[in-house]
Amino acid sequence: MHRTLKKDGIALIRVVSADDEFEKDLMRNNPGPEPNSSIWPKTGKFQKNFTEKELRNFYEMFDILTLEKRTKKAVKIDREFTATNWWLVLKKK
C-alpha cells in the first residue's frame, strides 16, 4: 500500500480488534502463530487481530489521521456477540 500510494494519498483501513469478543475466545482456544491471532477450527482460516500499539507500529510510515475503535452487535456462526473493529484513515507522508 505504501509503495502504490502517491505522496499525500489517503487509505481507509478496517481491521479486527484484539478486544473483539468472538476473536478473544478463538485466540484463547485456537491460538495462531502470531500474537493476537487465531486459527478458525473448522476452516483453518488464519485471523490476525490488532491492538492499538500494533497498528501504530505497523503503519508508522503513514500519518494516522483517524484511529477509532468501533463496536456493534453481530452474529457469527449462530452466536450473538459484540464485534470490535479499528477504523483508520492514513495519509502517506
Q: How far is CA 60 from the centre of its chain?
A: 16
83: helix, strand or coil: strand
At residue 78, the pLDDT reads 86
pLDDT tens per residue across span 21-80? 999 999 999 999 999 999 999 999 999 999 999 999 999 999 999 999 999 999 987 889
At residue 79, the pLDDT reads 86
Amino acid (1-letter code) at residue 50: F
What are the φ/ψ torsions at residue 65 (nearest 5 degrees)? -85, -35
Which domains, ranges and CATH numbers included, belong to the chain? 10-92 (3.40.50.150)
Q: How far is CA 86 from the centre of its chain?
A: 6
Cβ 66 vs Cβ 87: under 8 Å = yes
